[in-house]
Structure 1
């Protein structure tokens, strides 16, 4: 199995899941959460992201979100494009329709 490349020097955003809805969310500039990566607070690298991650961890302790982590993004695009394929899928939204059970 190949190791993932080190991406610490790339721009980063914080992502997590909303505890109530399960939705993928991104930490915004106002320290809130948005389902839209376009509203995410982008920092230049993982080192700068440490403060954002600390804010996210505090909100995780308050049961607002769960499992926050930094992801590298290409910030030359609008909205920022996640570098990793898995994160591109998460940013694009649910891959299944939410239909009620019969």
Structure 2
């Protein structure tokens, strides 16, 4: 069996990916990921279905995540480490 090395391959793919500057859509995906991890959709659905308000800390954390996403997404140059916890609420 003969094997050949394909020029480029994964190394080129990863190198090209790292050179691309983050876009607003990337920041929005990160915010959505954090909201899902928080369980925001479940709490919001429960509030809409039953009228029982969601816990205040969940609501405030979601507001903070949305604020960070809007602020980072509005920057002229989005930092490459925008996924870091230093930008997002703890």
More helix by share: 2
Normalised to the residue count of structure 1, the TM-score between the two structures is 0.24
With CA pairs under 8 Å and 6+ residues apart, which has the higher RCO, 1 or 2?
2
Normalised to the residue count of structure 2, the TM-score between the two structures is 0.26
More strand by share: 1
